[in-house]
Structure 1
Amino acid sequence: MTTAADPRYAGALRLDGKRALITGAGKGIGADIARAFASAGADLVLSGRDEGELGRAAAALHDEFGVDVHSAAVDLARADGPDTLAGMAADALGGLDILVNNAGVSYPESVVDTTAEAFDATIAVNLRAPALLAARVGAQMVAQGTGGAIVTVASAAALAPLPDHYAYCASKAGLVMATKVLARELGPHGIRANSVCPTVVLTEMGQRVWGEEAKAAPMIARIPLGRFAVPHEVSDAVVWLCSDAASMINGADIAVDGGYTMG
């Protein structure tokens, strides 16, 4: 006996008609998220610092998927960066339904060697910028009155300590909590805010940093699945969190880490 498909699952992971801003979209995880969103039908603003790189990525996604794609080269390390980007993105698409806070930096150094300059630079990009950008975009979403979704790409380093990443761990842990505050305050307006916390992801940069077996082996040994993540595993989680399939998920931090942070 043949039964009709459950209409709940017809296009549940589609993002057609949604307007999304993705930071750090020029390469790595951000570029993969942008491709996943374009494939799911979302119109996009791609943000980063390299205008040429962003322009090429925007053109390629438009040509392949037919969605509206804009680029916005903004330095989020600047104090006025979040305000500038929020305004540019909303103007480009006529409003925003989704924000993916992905941009981040890391300056590995031991606790005893930590410098004020590296610590401040990490906090500025990894915590201050995404927190203020989410606040500005959140205000726009409240004014629109149509709800929205904010996803923070944090890190497993927000949930479990990682040697030689003092400032990085602190910044990502702070960002996870900031996202929970967004979820608490913006939830009554139909705006959901969640974090994803990946382990090492084998982007081009991830391959360079962790490609050496001797360095990777101790880390992999702590991951029950016995491997690092690949970019689409992060992107799939982000698409899901922004889709109607996750309509009751708010204030969660989802570890995309193969079990690393279980302890």
Structure 2
Amino acid sequence: MSYDYEDPFFAGRSALVTGSGKGIGRAITKQLHILGAQVYAISRTQSDLESLASECPGILTYCLDLSDWKKTEDVVKTLPPLDCLVNNAGVTSLESFLETKAESFERVMKTNVQSVLNVSQVVAKHMIKRGAHGSIVNVSSVASTRALNLHTSYCASKAALDSLTRSMALELGPHKIRVNSVNPTVVMTDMGKLAWSDPDKSEPILNRIPLGKFVEVEDVVNAILFLLSDRSSMINGVHLPIEGGLFVS
């Protein structure tokens, strides 16, 4: 995997990435580190953090279940001043609408929405206290606006996340803190490749994408880097679709 993105903005800056253990979160953590940022990584899987730290000497890792409001708040409050935040952590629950359980819905909403509110509140308050400009990117999904079979909780959580993103952008903008989301379709993480390897499942979707392919991890990473950087200094409150034109027709 290679990236052509270079930006001096990240040298000497600090960034927190949630859900850093795998997939998009791991990739953005590694790239921010390469670009010179001091990165703080949160994951609920210690082994993932240990391997990440060995690949990126100098990053600081925290094993944490973001669904625990108080513990999350306590940990994030201990972090040094931050310039960037990527709220990437997310879970799903494969249940039909009629079979969606209260505990499943609560778990998805706590991780995908409540944790973003919690972490972002702490980080934004510190930014405001310092009078620092900042950028926050929330990792959402096209599922925020399109229903997916067996994804009731997930779709609802991403719709709520987009709404939260707009509220954050409105209220934090006057403090020079920008908030945006990226909204990809199927991403070819290791999990994505396994889930969409069956042509009978993937081809109907691929046939609707003008570019004829699913999203690669680096496509999402480069979009996040752009939104974090000064190159997007007048972009605020946007939900950036990354879907190859899936919904143009």
**Shared fold per TM-score greater than 0.5:** yes
Residue type of the alignment partner of 1:86: V
Question: 1:52 matched to which residue of 2?
Answer: 47
Question: 1:177 matched to which residue of 2?
Answer: 163
Q: Does 1:140 align with 2:130?
A: no
Query: Highest Rg: 1 or 2?
Result: 1
Q: Does 1:131 align with 2:109?
A: no
Identify the match of residue 27 of structure 1 among 12, 22, 32. Answer: 22
Identify the match of residue 37 of structure 1 among 32, 40, 47. Answer: 32
**Which secondary structure state, in structure 1, belongs to the residue aligned with residue 247 of structure 2?**
helix
Please say if residues 140 and 162 of structure 2, whose CA atoms lie closer than 8 Å, have aligned partners that are also in contact: yes
CA offset digits 1:27-55 (Å, max 9, x no partner):
11111111221122111001001123212
Where structure 1 has 5 or more consecutive residues not aligned to the other structure, the ranges are 1-10, 63-67
CA offset digits 1:38-85 (Å, max 9, x no partner):
1221110010011232122023112xxxxx310011110112243133
Tell me the TM-score normalised to structure 1 length: 0.89
Q: CA 1:261–1:87 in 2, change beyond 3 Å: closer, same or farther?
A: farther
Question: 2:242 matched to which residue of 1?
Answer: 256
CA offset digits 1:123-164 (Å, max 9, x no partner):
111111112211121111111111101000001101222121
CA RMSD of aligned residues (A): 1.4
Identify the match of residue 190 of structure 2 among 193, 204, 209. Answer: 204
**Which secondary structure state, in structure 2, belongs to the residue aligned with residue 223 of structure 1?**
coil
Where structure 2 has 5 or more consecutive residues not aligned to the other structure, the ranges are 1-5
Tell me the TM-score normalised to structure 2 length: 0.93
Higher mean alpha-carbon deviation, 248-257 vs 13-22, is at 13-22
Question: 1:85 matched to which residue of 2?
Answer: 75
Distance (whole Å) between structure 1 residues aligned to residue 84 and residue 247 of structure 2? 27
Q: Does 1:74 align with 2:64?
A: yes
- Once the two structures are aligned, what percentage of the paired residues are identical? 38
Matched length: 244
Distance (whole Å) between structure 2 residues aligned to residue 189 and residue 111 of structure 1? 40
After TM superposition, the runs of 4+ consecutive aligned structure 1 residues lying more than 3 A away are 11-14
Distance (whole Å) between structure 2 residues aligned to residue 24 and residue 81 of structure 1? 16
Higher mean alpha-carbon deviation, 129-138 vs 196-205, is at 129-138
